[in-house]
Amino acid sequence: LVLVIPYRPHQDFSIVMGAPDMDAEGVKVEDALGGVGRSFETRFLPEMVTPMVREILAVGREVGCPVIDLSRTLKIDEESHYGTGRIGEANELGAPWSGAEPSDISTKFIARLIEHALSNEQEAMLYWGDAKQPGGKNWQMTVRQDNNDYILAEDYKFGGGIMKKVVKGPTEEEVAEANPYWFGIGILATLLLSAQSLMNGGDVVGFERDGFEAVLQQQVAEPAQPWSKG
């Protein structure tokens, strides 16, 4: 049993808008709407798919089988890894380039990864291909691997990199439970500081003896106001 994490579509391909148009000279024709859609999908697809991929990793750990990660194998900025190998080029059947299908080159990558996973002991491992094109000639792929453990799953991001952790603040229930605790700590700290101040001949914390005595003497010196019944 070998589980497979799917590959990402090419960065110039949109699931909704499709592939970009090409002019007569084979140059991509930029369109505002399509460009926005492609940029949006490229940016947010990893965040949307990563939770589902983590479930695949969890199944692999549970049953003890290898997982192949194609999202780290196919390069989303490489046309030759998708479809006919070049945007705007059709195959012998007339089908145009598609950024959502593997090319002949990447199909060989996938076959080699499956062969490698099956030829090794069945265990919770993650395999992916490190594809390079030395000198701009034939593509070469080196199989990379990592233990499919909880540490990997925690930091895993679809397509590579590390998923950003969202730092959440305390909930309302946690704040409500903590308030009495910190209020009591404040009262205790005030009592201790006041006791120390009194022992050193000072005043209670928050109380100014000189100011209080001045106000009291002023009130005593003022003549009493006559009292009359309503």
DSSP string, 138-167: S-EEEEEEEE-SHHHHHHB-TTSSBPPPPP
Residue 123, pLDDT score: 94
Cβ atoms within 10 A of the Cβ of 227, count? 5
For 34, residues 6+ apart whose C-beta sits below 8 A from its C-beta are 14, 17, 18, 20
Q: Determine contact, residues 204/197, Cβ cutoff 8 Å.
A: yes
Q: Tell me the two tokens of residue 1.
A: 């049993």
Residue 210, pLDDT score: 62
Residue 166, pLDDT score: 46
Task: Pick the most confident of 24-38, 72-86, 188-202.
Answer: 72-86
Q: Tell me the two tokens of residue 19.
A: 């592939």
Supply the mean pLDDT for the chain. 79
Task: Pick the most confident of 102-106, 161-165, 168-172, 197-201.
Answer: 102-106
Q: Determine contact, residues 22/28, Cβ cutoff 8 Å.
A: yes
Residue 176, pLDDT score: 56
Give which of 134, 114, 98, 17 is closest to 66, Cα–Cα: 114
- Going by their DSSP bridges, the two strands 3-5 and 140-147 should be labelled as unpaired
The answer, yes or no, to whether residue 98 has pLDDT greater than 70, is yes
- Rounded distance, CA 63 to CA 148, Å? 12
pTM above 0.85, yes or no: no
Averaged over 112-122, what is the pLDDT? 95
Place 219 in a pLDDT band, splitting at 50, 70 and 90: low
Q: What's the pLDDT tens digit per position in 126-155? A: 999 999 998 888 999 999 999 999 999 999
The answer, yes or no, to whether residue 185 has pLDDT greater than 80, is no
The answer, yes or no, to whether residue 204 has pLDDT greater than 80, is no
Residue with more model confidence, 224 or 94 = 94
Averaged over 114-122, what is the pLDDT? 94
The answer, yes or no, to whether residue 101 has pLDDT greater than 70, is yes
- Rounded distance, CA 12 to CA 186, Å? 60
